[in-house]
Amino acid sequence: MPIHASWQCDLSDDPLTWSDGVYDLFGLERGAPVRREDIVAMYSAESREELRRLREGAIAECGSFTFEAKIRRPDGQLRWMRVTADVVVEDGVARYLYGTKIDVTDEIIGAAVAA
């Protein structure tokens, strides 16, 4: 069963709020303090760049995005996740990003094996 988890980022200073499933997906202790820059460093270089591009666009346009990202957990395990994000707008300004992260590792590996 894939891990399905929710997250939120306050755009005023980038603090993250995670459900337990996000900690599980990233292989981190539930409730441990997390800093956005440390988490983004766990993304592969390609996924980091895609996240940067999509995030900047969503904030600028008060939009949303979905993409698949590859991360490396602290134990070295590679995982794939589908990230969805939307923006909360207050007074015409993006204030929060929020969304889900779903572990799609088995789906990605299965597709690669079938190809």
> pLDDT (tens digit, 9 = 90+) per residue, 37-87?
999 999 999 999 999 999 999 999 999 999 999 999 999 999 999 999 999
d(CA 19, CA 21): 5
Could you give the CA distance from residue 2 to residue 9 in angstroms, rounded to a whole number?
23
For the record, the structure tokens of 49 come out as 């760049």
The answer to whether 47 and 55 are in contact (CB under 8 A) is: no
Q: Are 65 and 85 in contact (CB under 8 A)?
A: yes
Both tokens assigned to 27: 């292989």
Model-level pTM?
0.90
pLDDT digits (tens, 9 = 90+) for 88-106: 999 999 999 999 999 999 9
